[in-house]
Structure 1
């Protein structure tokens, strides 16, 4: 993190150098001092990056930690100075009476500012020199000047990595809860059934899921041992000696007599390969805990295909590694957390062994709350359960563990091994990913973080920078994917095109990020815990540390917070509150770059929002789903603003001063939502200024804008890649839209259109936007057919329709689109009662979402939709859906299955996309247990009926527990028979 702080400060000073040269052209000393600071920061940054790469930065190195803390402090101060200088440049030079003598006032203010900045630069240079000299006095920099040896590189990390994994704690069969399904699947993959080819099986998942434990049980299975007469288990880990592990592998497989101590790595690889080719039997090798592709590539040349059905099993936390290892066979198993039932069973076995693995009734409530922190992670469940078992069985002890679990995770001796296991993933991150991961500490526990929201915030904070070949947005997407692939963040909702819509961080990892961010003085959290019953006093607000990011969880800004000088360092303010939030107490946050108030009830009394005018460095402003009705005039002062999110607000008009925001890249207003009085899907947006929009040269995303005023100017904004348009109601504004679309056709990648016009204007488009990847159409198609140019959209991967009233012929246009992966059908979008999947149709469709199409009740599969994974139905009360498969030949490969997602809409949100989902498999090679449902807002009854097997009923209570349930028998997996799904409200 220190390297990241230095990088940010150095970058800030680097950006300021041209301004310094212009402003202080006559004061060479100031400019030279600033250049010296920048160069010294770059040297410090290189030193810290090198230490991180060599594994020399550990928590045990107290001297280095102290020095790095000092370096971090000075880096933050330099960044503060650089940002304050920029802030001063953004301020008006005179106002009020000063306007009578503008030159005098300007000269005086500039002189004062120059003297202050010159003094600051001189002082900062002195501090940088002092910190640099201190590192030399104590030999800190000298640690990397010597030639690194294998022992100097490996020893510090090895000390941290002293195999603290708790695999031994999970080896008892009684503790292997919820492993039957994964074990059976892997066993099917492991025992040869496809001839004699070599198969590489990868098991991937975050640390603590039990990958090693699961594979160890397979490895020791008698059937496996009898089938593979030669076997080897190799633990790779983050740092390893290839020569040592090759010798170990040869010894396990062949015996020590086949190699000599003097053999080089290359000779060992060749020897192992030659001997394995001579074997007259198959082998199984486990490479446990593989962290990188380089590690895999080091071993792979030594592991040949001896044409006897051999197997290699790889366990890893990195999806890229797993996919690469198994790229030929495609056998990648994603190990998932335990379901709530199995989590509870495992916890009770570990926490209450003296009570025959039964939780005493008085401990049930606290135990379930503690278990909720584990979020299905076996390592956490076993470890925390073990800590509870080691304590006296007293309610006070359980309460203490519950109240201080976050602190205990980072400090309790019994939890130390678990903390180290989870910390491996963090320390393995490249330096540029560490601040991005710690940034997640801002968000509350169990919070669903939208991917795009997170990426835009990273960019606004200066944590992501463009490269020669990639834009800032592309780099941010790449970094996000890296964190996902490393299992540092987990997907919550995945779109049909396989992109992640929202993500979350595991509760245990969140505690780790909070601890690390507090250590680095990065994030300060103000929370308001559950208030005790009256007349007990309300809890006091926590103190705010000198952190860069301030987050308020279920809290409003305290009335006296403006007196806290530590707020002068705050770069981002994020409020998660259901109460009324006022911004009047934010006067000290002049260096704010990110203001995120999504979902808050904002006070608009006495022009409260006008205070945002003081945040002249603001780059990101999120007012999504707030109660605001208009934008303040002070918005025009935000000359550095890049993102303005106004979706699902009551703003209906964008004021003219928006055209002064020349750096604005993202502007989104309104959106599609349901009418509170019924199920109708409506579109909301805002009117643009009559002229001046072409001044927004940086704007890339604009949605949803009204075409009532015929804004033909939009056609000149050739940098737009995403456009949303509404209020196309007359032939005049319909033609204005067509002209705009023709002009923007080459660069548009996403398009949303909502109309209420009896003219088939979409047919008039002469330049189809053939590069579109996402298309949303909401309006009546007069001919019940799609425009002919829709068929040419061979890059569209996501499409949503509402009110289009398509017939089967119109639907067939969509079915032929070669890249369509996600299709959403809202009300009146399709008129037929059945949807047919014919051979060759929907070739890559993965997600089909049906929302309020009460007349669509049958899905008939005749060989189409081969890639379909999820059919998501938002059902109305009493609606029945029939799924028909063709008879022979079988419509899908036998190993695949159809998945139905039962969806319950959040009753408090009118947004149709904010849904609570649960995925349940209805087909496949084995039975399907109906367990592990999430909590819904109210009880839901689900009925699954199979024509030949009768009916199974399940009553899902609002707490997520099943009151009645059974497993679907294997016969139900013959999908050519029909399955009926009925969802209705329970009485």
Structure 2
């Protein structure tokens, strides 16, 4: 993918030139020239984005740019790796290799100069081959035309799933009411829009059939109304769309209108419609800008005129329905997916013409329907659906395309952990920093956009309402894999088909396969990411413990991402891990106790270190050298190393699974983690007991921990008496003991606490006074036994969600809970008989 490769390379070059210029030595000038050339190429890519799919020449040029950008990335990364390796040598070894280093500088300078010449030639040839880049276009004209030709309007008696929405209300009578209710004179045009956010083109056939049927009604005023149907409204097709509309009004040849500019055409159309009643249906609007351009041409004449738009993009529908502040915003009508019965009904009508499915084919037919997950397009035509989905992908914003293609690394029907996905996106360089916003929040916005585009589905939600896991439809996954192969973005390998190694930058190994791994080429410098899923490699395997990482350290020294925690293999970190100097993400698992070598602390780019499935007692002393580390996940029994200097981890956002002991307390007291947002602690397993009050007091009095939002405490003796001054929004308490009324009162006094989880605790005294938990929105209690819960009026005024799972309460404030006006969602799972009777 040329766009993401060039953007990521530019970011790396900018960082090198500004922060690590010493590494470049005598090739700094060539690197700056490369940066300038790539900046021009980036503008070229941005302005030719909409022409790649219908112009083979542009497509070929973009492919050349991608290849030369990959080559430039390899040259720069290899050079940096060589320089860092040289810096680690002793003085004598440096002297011995000084000649080789000089030759290396000269060789790299020559390679960069040649790459600069190639880029310059590509850019200069754009005029030679007639490639215009003055005007950006987000369209895909040829694909749209093909799609339009293939679209079939179905008869109304073959329409399924449009008779009623999820609330049992039919949308068509509502639509007729908006179109025909002429007495609404005072309403403005934008307030009368009926917005259909049609994520899978489920609307088209019935809508057109029904609207055309309006002309046959007895309403004489309706018969005199002007009707126009405009499709695929785009900014670059604006003049053509409106000229056709004016021609349909006057039944004249619209050729002369082509001489008018956009503003003149809008003005002329506005005058033509000013005293008329009209119905305009604008189908398949993709962009907010396109709607803004077209909408000003329609007058608000308060005579019953209507505008109806459809869009696959929820953001477009929301924008169109909220343009005028004088009227309430209209909620777009979102068509639901088909349930199993409706899916089978549609399949039967399309395949058997409304007849009965033969008994011998029913099992196979139902399997096909089930695989479509309620998506009508997949049921009607799986093959043509790929073209439609590709059209959606082609119109994605540039920043979202690599994020979407990345879903191809996961196996089919895999439930994807969102937090892990975000860490991978960040390590891959897909997320751009926006002002002072946290980069994790920006990544979540990217995911929400992909969900709004209906390309990704939210599977489960977190307690705070965010997406916890997501999934991708198998058809869309196939699209990701096919597009990725064409773009050399990633390759999926399984033990069923051992494809030869390509020049893809990422490989995803499904079902760990010894022959495949052992056939790994030793000079595969193009690989930047290695992911694995499934499979079993026993501890007695002939490959040996740690074989995977040893092989990577030998053959793929430029790798940035290693994600093997989803594979059932034993990974032991080798001492040669320091060879992976560009590594940003390392997540592996091991079933044996293991000592992490101190050499891992030389990975100066490392951002994520995930060892939750590792039995580690101590972290290496040099861990403080990892200044870029953002996420550190441990198994709960790991101790932080001692340090007497002022070393710290300034960029650390998440620290989880730490064994809390006196040394950890000292580190917190010295503010070694100033930007920490999430902290997970386990009571010391070394025998030294920690006073939880002392812990809370030490955390509360450290000013640099002002960013801490989430605290997770496991296996503590909770006897809180001191007030917590931290601005915590979420607290999780696991397997606690001795949580008395003082503790609950301290928790209830937290002014910003929104989410509280209590799991595996017994004999609690939950006493909520009238001012307790003033901001609490979510309360989850699981496996809480032999406890007493009382609550005064006024407590938990903002509580929206209550989850009680496998709990046993001696007393419970049911009446007070039911009186909470904000409470919307109550889940009681596996209650004991007493609690069931109380409910």
Give TM class, smaller chain. 0.7 to 0.9
Structure 1 partner of 2:164: 181
- Which digits, 9 at most, give the CA deviation of each residue in 1:866-920, with x for residues without a partner? 572x544443698996999xxxxxxxxxxxxxxxxxxxxxxxxxxxxxxxxxxxx
1:379 to 367, 377, 380: 377
Q: Residues 602 and 811 from structure 1, CA distance in 2 versus in 1: closer, same or farther, beyond 3 angstroms? A: farther
Query: Is the Cα contact below 8 Å between 2:565 and 2:587 reproduced in 1?
Result: yes
Structure 2 partner of 1:688: 640
- Which digits, 9 at most, give the CA deviation of each residue in 1:346-396, with x for residues without a partner? 22332344x93415525734x455445433221121113xxxxxxxxxxxx
Query: Is the Cα contact below 8 Å between 2:594 and 2:614 reproduced in 1?
Result: no
Other structure's SS at 1:711 match: helix
Structure 1 partner of 2:471: 504
Query: Is the Cα contact below 8 Å between 2:653 and 2:677 reproduced in 1?
Result: yes
Other structure's SS at 1:801 match: strand
Measured in 1, the distance between the counterparts of 2:650 and 2:488 equals: 37
Measured in 2, the distance between the counterparts of 1:2 and 1:652 equals: 44
Alignment of 1:144-223 (within 5 A): 144=132, 157-162=140-145, 164-165=147-148, 168-169=151-152, 171-182=154-165, 184-187=169-172, 190=175, 191=177, 197=187, 198-206=191-199, 208-213=200-205, 215-216=207-208, 219-220=211-212
Measured in 2, the distance between the counterparts of 1:879 and 1:510 equals: 48
Query: Is the Cα contact below 8 Å between 1:70 and 1:131 reproduced in 2?
Result: no
Other structure's SS at 1:91 match: helix
* 1:852 corresponds to 2:819: no
Measured in 1, the distance between the counterparts of 2:211 and 2:282 equals: 11
Measured in 2, the distance between the counterparts of 1:199 and 1:859 equals: 45
Alignment of 1:302-451 (within 5 A): 302-303=297-298, 312-327=307-322, 328-353=328-353, 356-361=355-360, 364-365=363-364, 367-384=365-382, 409=383, 415=384, 418-451=385-418
Other structure's SS at 1:726 match: strand
Runs of at least 5 residues in structure 2 that lack an aligned partner in the other structure: 323-327, 539-546
Structure 1 partner of 2:499: 542
Q: By how many angstroms is 1:835 displaced?
A: 9.8
Alignment of 1:233-272 (within 5 A): 233-239=229-235, 241-246=237-242, 261=257, 265-266=262-263
1:83 to 77, 83, 92: 77
Query: Is the Cα contact below 8 Å between 1:272 and 1:303 reproduced in 2?
Result: yes
- Which digits, 9 at most, give the CA deviation of each residue in 1:503-523, with x for residues without a partner? 222221211111111011111
- Which digits, 9 at most, give the CA deviation of each residue in 1:908-960, with x for residues without a partner? xxxxxxxxxxxxxxxxxxxxxxxxxxxxxxxxxxxxxxxxxxxxxxxxxxxxx
Structure 2 partner of 1:875: 830
Measured in 1, the distance between the counterparts of 2:483 and 2:150 equals: 26
2:717 to 749, 752, 757: 757
Q: By how many angstroms is 1:321 displaced?
A: 1.7
Measured in 2, the distance between the counterparts of 1:177 and 1:822 equals: 39
2:683 to 717, 721, 727: 727
Measured in 2, the distance between the counterparts of 1:809 and 1:311 equals: 58
1:297 to 292, 300, 303: 292
Measured in 1, the distance between the counterparts of 2:30 and 2:835 equals: 75
Measured in 1, the distance between the counterparts of 2:822 and 2:171 equals: 24
Structure 2 partner of 1:960: none
Tell me the C-alpha RMSD between the 2 structures: 4.1
Other structure's SS at 1:432 match: helix
Query: Is the Cα contact below 8 Å between 2:233 and 2:290 reproduced in 1?
Result: no
Measured in 1, the distance between the counterparts of 2:192 and 2:838 equals: 35
Structure 2 partner of 1:603: 570
Query: Is the Cα contact below 8 Å between 1:556 and 1:577 reproduced in 2?
Result: no
Residues paired across the two proteins, number: 795
- Which digits, 9 at most, give the CA deviation of each residue in 1:627-649, with x for residues without a partner? 35435214333232111123355
Q: Residues 628 and 314 from structure 1, CA distance in 2 versus in 1: closer, same or farther, beyond 3 angstroms? A: farther
Query: Is the Cα contact below 8 Å between 1:559 and 1:585 reproduced in 2?
Result: no
Q: By how many angstroms is 1:666 displaced?
A: 1.0
Q: Residues 181 and 834 from structure 1, CA distance in 2 versus in 1: closer, same or farther, beyond 3 angstroms? A: farther
Measured in 2, the distance between the counterparts of 1:851 and 1:318 equals: 38
Measured in 2, the distance between the counterparts of 1:627 and 1:725 equals: 22
Q: By how many angstroms is 1:165 displaced?
A: 4.6
Measured in 2, the distance between the counterparts of 1:274 and 1:189 equals: 30
Structure 2 partner of 1:638: 603
Query: Is the Cα contact below 8 Å between 1:562 and 1:588 reproduced in 2?
Result: no
2:591 to 603, 620, 627: 627
Measured in 2, the distance between the counterparts of 1:823 and 1:309 equals: 49
Structure 1 partner of 2:725: 768
Structure 2 partner of 1:618: 583
Q: By how many angstroms is 1:38 displaced?
A: 2.4
Measured in 2, the distance between the counterparts of 1:843 and 1:790 equals: 16
2:652 to 695, 699, 702: 699
Query: Is the Cα contact below 8 Å between 2:629 and 2:652 reproduced in 1?
Result: yes
Measured in 2, the distance between the counterparts of 1:343 and 1:123 equals: 58
Q: Residues 121 and 499 from structure 1, CA distance in 2 versus in 1: closer, same or farther, beyond 3 angstroms? A: same
- Which digits, 9 at most, give the CA deviation of each residue in 1:466-499, with x for residues without a partner? 2444443343333333323322322222334332
Q: By how many angstroms is 1:111 displaced?
A: 3.2
**TM-score of the aligned structures, taking structure 1 as reference length:** 0.71
Other structure's SS at 1:241 match: helix
Measured in 2, the distance between the counterparts of 1:883 and 1:877 equals: 10
Q: Residues 181 and 775 from structure 1, CA distance in 2 versus in 1: closer, same or farther, beyond 3 angstroms? A: farther
* 1:585 corresponds to 2:551: yes
Query: Is the Cα contact below 8 Å between 2:785 and 2:808 reproduced in 1?
Result: no
Q: Residues 503 and 225 from structure 1, CA distance in 2 versus in 1: closer, same or farther, beyond 3 angstroms? A: farther
Measured in 2, the distance between the counterparts of 1:135 and 1:339 equals: 52
1:46 to 27, 43, 46: 43
Measured in 1, the distance between the counterparts of 2:481 and 2:664 equals: 48
Query: Is the Cα contact below 8 Å between 2:640 and 2:663 reproduced in 1?
Result: no
Measured in 2, the distance between the counterparts of 1:187 and 1:786 equals: 57
* 1:801 corresponds to 2:758: yes
Q: By how many angstroms is 1:443 displaced?
A: 1.5
Q: By how many angstroms is 1:790 displaced?
A: 4.2
Q: Residues 343 and 42 from structure 1, CA distance in 2 versus in 1: closer, same or farther, beyond 3 angstroms? A: same
Measured in 2, the distance between the counterparts of 1:138 and 1:109 equals: 44
Measured in 2, the distance between the counterparts of 1:567 and 1:242 equals: 49
Other structure's SS at 2:131 match: helix
Alignment of 1:838-849 (within 5 A): 842-843=797-798, 845=800, 847-849=801-803
Q: Residues 609 and 204 from structure 1, CA distance in 2 versus in 1: closer, same or farther, beyond 3 angstroms? A: farther
Structure 2 partner of 1:944: none
Query: Is the Cα contact below 8 Å between 1:816 and 1:842 reproduced in 2?
Result: yes
Structure 2 partner of 1:490: 457
Query: Is the Cα contact below 8 Å between 1:202 and 1:315 reproduced in 2?
Result: yes
Other structure's SS at 1:823 match: strand
Q: Residues 170 and 751 from structure 1, CA distance in 2 versus in 1: closer, same or farther, beyond 3 angstroms? A: farther
